[in-house]
């Protein structure tokens, strides 16, 4: 525990003290330079009780909005009524690369995450949180929740009771990022905190 404060809200918003100069303006220059979908981590690890899919979708929305990202962001999770694969709009699944906060390509497109390799990220490309931290640099951040099969379908016995419980005896499907995979099939106690990713679910033109 510890160290998971959200700088967006703890340093007086994004103002630097002079009007019009946000502290994290360097993050905004990456926005919409080409057609792409962003995959970004929430600023704090989450245990299995996320107040359901709506609660964590809203966190994705708020943290994206706080750094000026205009797209719709949804939690990278399966739940009772949602398959992970279906989150991105059908027409965009094979169209646009999936990129990190710095616009570095993680996957050639959404479909590529669900090909046969447990969601293997492109070598040497990192995943960042909305406040710009490399999630692999923190020991507590090396596992990601997903609640899914490798094909992106819901695992009904392994999504922390629709992401509403932190009971240690209940599990959610997770994956270790140390090997660069998003969809390894590793049940993890819902009492433990893990990375929660947010995916931009459709391309929005400027």
- Tell me the residue range of the domain where 99 lies: 23-200
pTM confidence score = 0.82
Q: Going residue by residue through the chain (206 aa), what tens digit of pLDDT does each one get?
A: 443 344 433 333 333 344 444 444 444 444 444 789 999 999 999 999 999 999 999 999 999 999 999 889 999 999 989 999 999 999 999 999 999 999 999 999 999 999 978 999 999 999 999 999 999 887 767 899 999 999 999 988 899 999 999 999 999 999 999 889 999 999 999 999 999 999 999 877 65
Domain membership flag for residue 139? yes
Q: Does a structural domain hold residue 6?
A: no
Q: What own/partner pairs with CB < 8 Å and gap ≥ 24 does 30-35 have?
A: 30/101, 30/102, 30/103, 31/68, 31/69, 31/70, 32/70, 32/205, 32/206, 33/103, 34/103, 35/95, 35/96, 35/203
Summarised one tens digit per residue, pLDDT across range 88-99 is: 999 999 999 999
Q: Is residue 1 part of a domain?
A: no
Question: Is-contact 190 168, C-beta < 8 A?
Answer: yes
Residue 128, SS3 per DSSP: strand
- Give the C-alpha separation, 87 to 90, whole Å: 9
In-domain check, residue 9:
no
CA distance 79 to 76: 10
The total of structural domains in the chain comes to: 1
15 in any annotated domain: no
Indicate whether 12 belongs to any domain.
no
Tens of pLDDT, residue by residue over 11-51, are 333 333 444 444 444 444 444 447 899 999 999 999 999 99
CA dist 16 → 20, 53, 121 (Å): 8, 34, 34
Q: Across-strand partners of 164?
A: 49
CATH number, residue 130: 3.10.100.10
Query: Does residue 16 lie in a domain region?
Result: no
pLDDT the model gives residue 204? 73
User: Quick check: helix, strand or coil at residue 175?
Assistant: strand
pLDDT at 206: 54
Q: Is residue 8 part of a domain?
A: no
């Amino acid at each position: 525990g510890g160290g998971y404060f959200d700088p967006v809200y703890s340093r007086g918003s994004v103002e630097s003290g002079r009007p019009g100069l946000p502290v994290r303006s360097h993050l905004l220059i990456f926005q919409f330079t080409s057609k792409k979908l962003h995959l970004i981590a929430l600023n704090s690890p989450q245990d299995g009780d996320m107040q359901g899919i709506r609660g964590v979708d809203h966190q994705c929305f708020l943290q994206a909005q706080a750094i000026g990202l205009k797209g719709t962001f949804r939690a990278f999770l399966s739940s009772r009524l949602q398959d992970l694969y279906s989150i991105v709009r059908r027409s965009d699944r094979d169209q646009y690369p999936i990129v990190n906060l710095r616009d570095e390509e993680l996957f050639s497109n959404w479909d590529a995450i669900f090909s046969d390799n447990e969601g293997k990220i492109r070598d040497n490309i990192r995943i960042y949180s909305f406040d710009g931290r490399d999630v692999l640099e923190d020991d507590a951040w090396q596992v990601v929740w997903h609640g899914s099969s490798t094909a992106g379908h819901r695992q009904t016995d392994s999504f922390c009771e629709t992401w509403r419980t932190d009971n240690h005896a209940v599990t959610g499907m997770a994956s270790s990022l140390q090997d660069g995979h998003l969809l390894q099939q590793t049940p993890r106690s819902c009492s433990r905190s893990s990375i929660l990713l947010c995916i931009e679910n459709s391309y929005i033109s400027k």
